[in-house]
Structure 1
Amino acid sequence: MTEPTPRRTAASAPVPTVDVHAHVLLPEVDALVTGLPGHAEARALDARRNGPAALAVSGPMVRDRIPRLTDPAVRLAAMDAQGVDVQLVSPSPSHYHYWADEDTAEKVYRTANEATAAHCSAAPDRLRGLGLVPLQHPGQSVRALDHALAQGLLGVEISSHAPARELSDPAYAPFWARAEETGALLFLHPFGCTLDERLDRWYLSNTVGQPAENAVALSHLIFSGVLDRHPGLKLIAAHGGGYLPTHIGRSDHAWATRSDAGTDCAHPPSSYLKRLYFDSLVHDPHVLRELIRVAGADRVLLGSDFPFDMGTADPVGALRGARLTEADLDAVRGRNAVVLLHLASA
């Protein structure tokens, strides 16, 4: 008896490779803020945090990448070379401008949202976008998120903190509620580190500062109970969540041992890792395997930090270097993102 031919299903169809950590540079935003009160001071702070040696390297590095950051055709060619089918494109974190007053902040987020949407519209089947919200003005956050979604963007990118505000601040409660209600994606990507000039040499501002900021921000969301109150949040942490996933046992110990640590979140901190999403950009196959162990293969997404030098030019190769099972590799390479981003091929 001849066996019937199996019906081709979505689960058996080829899964696209999806990079959820890719940036766009928006000259429109730079033109908007240049010369405004507070802009020069913010640039001076950034310079102090990074140090002169880092600035001397970063300037030429960014200039060399401007075509990939601004021209959709150049971006798509680079994606083809990498074997990437879809990018989730977020503004360069240099566009946060959390120093801005309310009027300027509204202009920034509207300009950034509209410009990102326009960039992605050049190839809507391959480029999906995220906008910005002004975390320094919590009262604008819901309007900014709604504006991003109205442009066809999938959500917004946020930093690890705003001046004098942590992500645990109760003022953000309406923002978390609206993000949960709409199913918007939140991409947590730090910019700047509050350790400031302690990290102003050897590019420690990025190599140490970014993973430290990720760990602090995620800890605020966990220990404050934000994730208990908003279990449906769809939050992706850049850089594999920084130092937190590989040191989550210390957080669990504090939660179980100290009354002050365990007051505001209902469950051990490690359990919340399975409610979050993480990109794969950790630069070490052993760390990636550990991230998958503690968070689950269904919670890790391919990320490259395109096209900056602290990213990877071969994200799929880096993923394969972790020697995952085929099922886990397939999930991280694209299957998880297909579901999360509601891609048509799902």
Structure 2
Amino acid sequence: MTTTPPTVDVHAHVLLLEVDALVEGLPGHAEAKALDARRNGPDALRVNGPMVGERIPRLTDPFARLAAMDGQGVDVQLVSPSPSHYHYWADEETAEQVHRLAAEATAAHCSTAPDRLRGLGLVPLQHPALTVRVLDHALSLGLRGVEISSHAPGRELSDPAYEPFWSRVEETGALVFLHPFGCTLDERLDRWYLANSVGQPTENAVALSHLIFSGVLDRFPGLRIIAAHGGGYLPTHIGRADHAWSVRPDARSGCAHLPSSYLQRIYFDSLVHDPYVLRELVRVAGADRVLLGSDFPFDMGAGDPVAALRAAGLSDADFAAVRGGTAAALLRKD
């Protein structure tokens, strides 16, 4: 007798009011908020407040979350803190407090329904020396791994200072959910919500390119990285990266293999908002590397992620893998 794997959404967020209270008024917080405001622009800020406010119950109340999951036909969510909780501006002491509290609050939220809610913590990328300790704390609480942004101030994910972190991630089998927050194109994207619609896929592509071209994925082949938003622009434009690697020695100096081959070493969520792009993502990465994702419960997410997946017209086997078969195996404790 065969059993149908659960439907698993790997891209769902929780808003941690405890973290917001901890950082309010601290030195550096106001400056970080001002930078975020400049990057997004006034029109986006006017929309964001009411949009988030209307979603507070689903972002904070696990029972409201479970009811919404039932309505979507989702059995399990991998819950990660809202990226607004990264707080990469914080000093070492504050950063450790913030990230430990984020892990504890996320674990408490998920403990309401441990068979349906699995959680991720955060690590302070701005302080590489803290990352291993904070990762271990998150794992000790039963969380499945951590969520990170595409970069920290002054550091890319290829920075050698992160080598101990990547080593520990590989050793523990922790999941790393790569979810950008903010875009270094800054005010160039401050209108028409370009900071999100263009900025997010750009940041995904840049961050993944650093991991590929620097050789991080060669040195740590066991990493289990999930890239939000389908990996951004990279999977559908990987041919240009392959060409650069093939003809230019400077592009080939860091990684051992053709860039497109590394797409089979990364996991991607399905949130690309286009069935044809989703089919291409499955083609280049493999159905066993694409996972259902909704960005629950934000407006840039998929209100019916299973229907969005079905629209791609995948084979039955590929549909089953993306809908939850692969993610269920990833989330299973060894």
Q: Report the TM range for the smaller structure's normalisation.
A: over 0.9
Displacement of 1:326 in angstroms is 0.6
Match 2:4 to one of 14, 17, 41: 14
Q: How far apart, CA to CA, are the structure 2 residues paired with 1:49 and 1:87?
A: 30
Q: Match for residue 204 of structure 2?
A: 214
CA RMSD of aligned residues (A): 0.7
Q: Match for residue 124 of structure 1?
A: 114
Q: Match for residue 260 of structure 1?
A: 250
Q: Match for residue 261 of structure 2?
A: 271
Helix, strand or coil at the partner of 1:311: coil
Q: How far apart, CA to CA, are the structure 2 residues paired with 1:243 and 1:340?
A: 25
Is structure 2 residue 217 aligned with structure 1 residue 227? yes
Is structure 2 residue 279 aligned with structure 1 residue 289? yes
Offset from partner CA, 1:271-323 (integer Å, 9 cap, x none) = 00000000000000000000000000000000000000000100000000001
Letter matched to residue 66 of structure 2:
L
Is structure 2 residue 319 aligned with structure 1 residue 329? yes
Is structure 2 residue 66 aligned with structure 1 residue 76? yes
What's the TM-score once normalised by structure 1's chain length?
0.96
Is structure 2 residue 23 aligned with structure 1 residue 29? no
Helix, strand or coil at the partner of 2:249: coil
Q: Match for residue 187 of structure 2?
A: 197
Helix, strand or coil at the partner of 2:10: strand
Q: How far apart, CA to CA, are the structure 2 residues paired with 1:338 and 1:87?
A: 10
Letter matched to residue 79 of structure 2:
V
Offset from partner CA, 1:174-200 (integer Å, 9 cap, x none) = 000000000000000000000000000
Is structure 2 residue 110 aligned with structure 1 residue 114? no
Displacement of 1:14 in angstroms is 1.4
Match 1:58 to one of 34, 40, 48: 48
Q: How far apart, CA to CA, are the structure 1 residues paired with 2:77 and 2:237?
A: 30
Offset from partner CA, 1:189-226 (integer Å, 9 cap, x none) = 00000000000000000000000000000000000000
Displacement of 1:248 in angstroms is 0.2
Q: Match for residue 158 of structure 1?
A: 148
Q: How far apart, CA to CA, are the structure 1 residues paired with 2:8 and 2:285?
A: 19
Displacement of 1:41 in angstroms is 0.2
Match 2:293 to one of 303, 309, 313: 303
Q: How far apart, CA to CA, are the structure 1 residues paired with 2:235 and 2:96?
A: 35
Q: How far apart, CA to CA, are the structure 2 residues paired with 1:89 and 1:307?
A: 11
Helix, strand or coil at the partner of 2:55: helix
Helix, strand or coil at the partner of 1:261: helix
Displacement of 1:59 in angstroms is 0.5
Gaps of 5+ in 2: none
Q: Match for residue 181 of structure 1?
A: 171
Gaps of 5+ in 1: 1-7
Moved over 2 A (4+): none
Q: How far apart, CA to CA, are the structure 1 residues paired with 2:188 and 2:4?
A: 47
Displacement of 1:25 in angstroms is 0.2
Displacement of 1:343 in angstroms is 6.7
Helix, strand or coil at the partner of 2:250: coil
Displacement of 1:263 in angstroms is 0.4
**Once the two structures are aligned, what percentage of the paired residues are identical?**
80
Q: How far apart, CA to CA, are the structure 2 residues paired with 1:32 and 1:210?
A: 27
Offset from partner CA, 1:1-60 (integer Å, 9 cap, x none) = xxxxxxx2xxx2011100000000000000000000000000000000000000000100
Q: Match for residue 5 of structure 1?
A: none
Is structure 2 residue 234 aligned with structure 1 residue 247? no
Larger Rg: 1
Displacement of 1:122 in angstroms is 0.2
Offset from partner CA, 1:217-263 (integer Å, 9 cap, x none) = 00000000000000000000000000000000000000010000000
Q: Match for residue 28 of structure 2?
A: 38
Q: How far apart, CA to CA, are the structure 2 residues paired with 1:41 and 1:249?
A: 39
Is structure 2 residue 139 aligned with structure 1 residue 140? no
